[in-house]
Structure 1
Amino acid sequence: MMDSIETEEIRVVEMYMMDKRKYYPLTVLSGFTIRGILYPFGLIKTRLQIQVGQEIYKGTFDAFVKISRNEGAQGLYRGFWVNCAHIFPSLAYITTYEKIRDYLRMNTNLNTSQIKSFISGGLASIVGQTLTVPLDIVTQHIMLLGNEKNSSEVNVQKKLKSLQRIHVPPEMRTSRFGTVSTVIREVYRQDGILGFYKGYFVSLALFAPNSGLWWMFYDTYSDKLQDALPDWVPRLAIHCVSAPCAGVTAAVITNSLDVIRARIQVEGKCFHVTLERLWKEEGFSFVFKGLSARIVQSVVFSFFIMLGYESLKRWSLKDEYKGQVRW
């Protein structure tokens, strides 16, 4: 009986099974690397969502080409160092997720992994978004700043400038923290401390269900694939396929809220005014604004984040669980 327990496969690695001294430093390093890879997709998605119709960029690829040509690599990574501060809310998010899963396992009769994942992901998102929204607002304003000095397409820069609510003088852009300090100061001057929480509730309305759905679909796809595929297929490969599928599913369901959130945080209008304006400008098609960039971002992000997340959990396993978790 003891042998069967010891050799029984553990499908989900829980927080209590890991050595935290290994897990957290590796998580920070992994998060920084993944953000470096994915940041340009987030910048492109934001610009597509903020523009009216297709007046600047026709789509994801067109935006990538124009930004690369006009602004160079610096344009694709504008605001990246501010965005890196998201690593700390991310740590709070994943810790909350794991702790709530552990609590539900110990104190409830929920036997379905998908339900535990949905609840844990949704509640973890509330913690994460409380810390993330101010960083998002600062980053999004910086993302809209073009390279006026070296741009080869003046018309594109004029249209991009018309979307900006905050003007950053050229002399401030050249200083090390000039752009960031100017944006923070102007957001505070225009709206006070609440300006850093514009769209907070719509962010919760987006990211809490998006997070819950992502984890729920991730567990669903993982379980279905593990049951359908032979045992010789690596579990890590199954996770890396399930994660992008979950990302696409959640992105399609919640994209309209993501568009509204981005507009509220940049333009500063309330929910119903933003929704009315989007409907007037785009009609029902606003639901799909930036969706292709978001799907690309979600697929790549989900793949790399789960490759890192599941690998780090296995590397951080305590000795007594290593024989029960398959790679």
Structure 2
Amino acid sequence: METMEVQEIRVIELNMMDKRKYFPLTLLSGFTIRGLLYPFSVIRTRLQIQKGNTIYKGTFDAFVKITRFEGFTGLYRGFWVSTLHMAPSFAYITTYEHVRHYMIENTTWTGSKIRSLTAGGVASIVGQTLSVPVDIVSQHMMLLGQRVGSPPVRVERKIESLQRLHIPEEVRKKRFGAVVAVVKEIYKLDGLLGFYKGYFVSLAVFAPNSALWWFFYDSYSGILAGIAPDWIPRLALQLFAAPCSGITSALITNPIDVLRARIQVERTTVKETSQLLWQEERYRILIKGLSARLVQSVTFSFFIMLGYESIKRWSLLDEYKASVRW
């Protein structure tokens, strides 16, 4: 008697998983990865805000100087504020999965890459609407240098030049006092709208970046699956495709990301910031902070998909387990 060959499922959809496992594990994975990679966010933000190379010459130089003059905790300035991103992150992944599922059930767009592109863009709009205020507060926290020992005066002045809010030294040393002070300063300067400074620029960065990331991830995964031998685990191919997708999307959207960071921290308009960046950087805007962003994007893409794809497999309903290859 012939056995029927089981058709392999390459993309695990929402309806194939036990949601009681999937969503809690996704939140736990996101928190862990955010903690591991947060220092790259601090370094990237400082590289983007500085003028030219006045303080840091690159990613490694920034790492050395921050740990030397501010201690290892300097790499985690504003981390606890950034953990509020867990709510937007949950909304993001929930929206992504539901939009993909909706498109399968209610549209004729059967291509997985188109579903990924659309769902990634929509999910980013939802996520950014919730996360922009957190971004603004955490970015100001990242720029609050805290002295360890007695750094040279010139170094101290350069670090302070990054700061756009006046927060007294004694307040910075308090874990939550600095957060409260930053929130009060932003509200005093710009009111509630200050927490949404650069919102549309953020959408212009993250919506295309998210859409492109998922599009290229699906594309690279499909290409690799088509040419790789069967003995190579499917997860290994996906973990190679994820960093490639991160590099591609980061290269395309980096200039807009620099513009976004400047607008949110310096509280200027798009036109003013664009003119200032052009005067200061010229074509270097294409690569400003790019090394830190690439490192962060590659590492984040690898680990987030390691968690994401593994969790999807662990959450599979019994009826689909035989159709999914690890």
TM-score range, shorter chain: over 0.9
Letter in 2 for 1:79: G
Other-structure match for 1:113: 112
| Gap runs ≥5 in structure 2 | none
1:16 aligns with 2:2: no
Other-structure match for 1:157: 156
Task: Give the TM-score taking structure 2 as reference length.
Answer: 0.97
Output the CA distance in 2 between the equivalents of 1:149 and 1:292: 26
Checking the alignment, whether the CA contact within 8 Å between 1:129 and 1:203 is kept in structure 2 is yes
Q: Could you tell me how far 1:27 is from its partner in structure 2?
A: 1.1
- Which is worse superposed, 217-226 or 157-166? 157-166
Output the CA distance in 2 between the equivalents of 1:233 and 1:305: 20
Output the CA distance in 2 between the equivalents of 1:254 and 1:170: 36
Letter in 1 for 2:143: L
Checking the alignment, whether the CA contact within 8 Å between 1:141 and 1:266 is kept in structure 2 is yes
Classify 1:168/1:23 alpha carbon distance in 2 versus 1 (closer, same or farther; 3 Å).
same
Checking the alignment, whether the CA contact within 8 Å between 1:256 and 1:287 is kept in structure 2 is yes
Size of the aligned set, in residue pairs, is 325
Q: Could you tell me how far 1:154 is from its partner in structure 2?
A: 3.0
Q: Could you tell me how far 1:28 is from its partner in structure 2?
A: 1.4
Output the CA distance in 1 between the equivalents of 2:119 and 2:294: 23
1:197 aligns with 2:204: no
Letter in 2 for 1:243: A
Written as runs of structure 1 = structure 2, the 5 A alignment for 1:80-229 is 80-148=79-147, 150-229=149-228
Deviating runs (4+, > 3 A) in structure 1? 2-5
Percent identity between matched residues is 63
Written as runs of structure 1 = structure 2, the 5 A alignment for 1:63-82 is 63-82=62-81
Other-structure match for 1:43: 42
Deviations 1:23-45 (A, max 9, x none): 12211111111011110111000
| Gap runs ≥5 in structure 1 | none
Other-structure match for 1:290: 289
Output the CA distance in 2 between the equivalents of 1:132 and 1:143: 16
Two-structure CA RMSD over aligned residues (Å): 1.3
Output the CA distance in 1 between the equivalents of 2:14 and 2:117: 17
Checking the alignment, whether the CA contact within 8 Å between 1:147 and 1:157 is kept in structure 2 is no
- Which is worse superposed, 314-323 or 118-127? 314-323
Output the CA distance in 2 between the equivalents of 1:151 and 1:15: 54
Q: Could you tell me how far 1:61 is from its partner in structure 2?
A: 0.8
Q: Could you tell me how far 1:196 is from its partner in structure 2?
A: 0.3
SS of 1:98 mapped into structure 2: helix
Classify 1:323/1:188 alpha carbon distance in 2 versus 1 (closer, same or farther; 3 Å).
same
1:240 aligns with 2:233: no
Output the CA distance in 2 between the equivalents of 1:16 and 1:185: 44
Deviations 1:97-129 (A, max 9, x none): 000000111111112111110010001000000
- Which is worse superposed, 234-243 or 145-154? 145-154
Output the CA distance in 1 between the equivalents of 2:202 and 2:130: 12
Output the CA distance in 2 between the equivalents of 1:151 and 1:261: 33
1:29 aligns with 2:21: no
Checking the alignment, whether the CA contact within 8 Å between 1:71 and 1:151 is kept in structure 2 is no
Task: Give the TM-score taking structure 1 as reference length.
Answer: 0.97
Q: Could you tell me how far 1:163 is from its partner in structure 2?
A: 2.2
Checking the alignment, whether the CA contact within 8 Å between 1:44 and 1:293 is kept in structure 2 is yes
SS of 2:71 mapped into structure 1: helix
Checking the alignment, whether the CA contact within 8 Å between 1:97 and 1:120 is kept in structure 2 is yes
Q: Could you tell me how far 1:150 is from its partner in structure 2?
A: 2.8
- Which is worse superposed, 49-58 or 22-31? 22-31
Deviations 1:161-202 (A, max 9, x none): 122121222332233310100001110110000000000000
Q: Could you tell me how far 1:4 is from its partner in structure 2?
A: 4.1
Letter in 2 for 1:186: E
Checking the alignment, whether the CA contact within 8 Å between 2:70 and 2:148 is kept in structure 1 is no
